[in-house]
């Protein structure tokens, strides 16, 4: 699995990961109505605001299966999403680690993180 910076070419795959992740991983914690409202709000596409960094997780075959968003101004990870079939494999942790490493390398400070209840497995 490769973690790399997002490009505009990833926009469609990024939106697909968002929808699949919410629909596939959130049903135990949110109503169907809440889930459908959430997936109707498409995640932001390129070009990203200058204060945002996005990383994607890509398989060896080039399929985007996860992403994370990071707000540089706030020092906050604002989203980590993984396709359900890749959940539980440590991919969310790898995306978080990439954010941590980037933050520390570029700004030498900590990151902030809030997680949804269905993301409970993302932290070690």
Q: What is the CATH number of the domain that holds 29?
A: 3.40.630.30
pLDDT at 41 over 80: no
- The arithmetic mean of pLDDT across residues 26-46, rounded, is 73
Across-strand partners of 35?
Answer: none
Say if residue 116's pLDDT is above 60: no
CA distance 70 to 5: 11
Quote the domain boundaries for residue 74.
Answer: 2-122
Task: Report the C-alpha gap between 56 and 81 in whole angstroms.
Answer: 9
Domain count for the chain? 1
pLDDT averaged over every residue in the chain: 80
Q: 């997680």: which residue's tokens?
A: 115
Give the model's pLDDT for residue 29: 76
- pLDDT score at 22: 81
In this prediction the pTM is 0.78
d(CA 20, CA 15): 9
- Both tokens of residue 92? 């969310």
For the chain, what's the residue count?
124
| pLDDT exceeds cutoff 90 at 2 | yes
Query: Which of 2-6, 29-33, 84-88, 104-108 shows the lowest mean pLDDT across its residues?
Result: 104-108
Residues 51-77: what's their mean pLDDT? 89
The terminus-to-terminus CA distance of the chain in angstroms comes to 19
The whole-number average pLDDT for the span 93-122 is 67
CB-count exposure of residue 120 (10 Å: 0-12, 13-18, 19+): exposed
27, pLDDT greater than 80: no
In this predicted structure, what is the pLDDT of residue 100? 82
């Amino acid at each position: 699995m490769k973690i790399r910076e997002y490009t505009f070419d990833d926009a469609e795959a990024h939106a697909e990961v968002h929808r699949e992740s919410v629909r596939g991983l959130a049903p135990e914690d949110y109503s169907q109505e809440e889930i459908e409202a959430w997936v109707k709000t498409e995640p932001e596409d390129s070009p990203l605001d200058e204060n945002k960094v996005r990383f994607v997780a890509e398989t060896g075959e080039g399929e985007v299966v996860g992403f994370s968003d990071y707000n540089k101004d706030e020092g906050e990870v604002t989203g980590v999403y993984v396709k359900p079939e890749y959940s539980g494999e440590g991919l969310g942790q790898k995306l978080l680690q990439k954010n941590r490493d980037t933050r520390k390398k570029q700004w030498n400070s900590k990151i902030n993180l809030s997680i949804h209840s269905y993301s409970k497995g993302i932290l070690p």
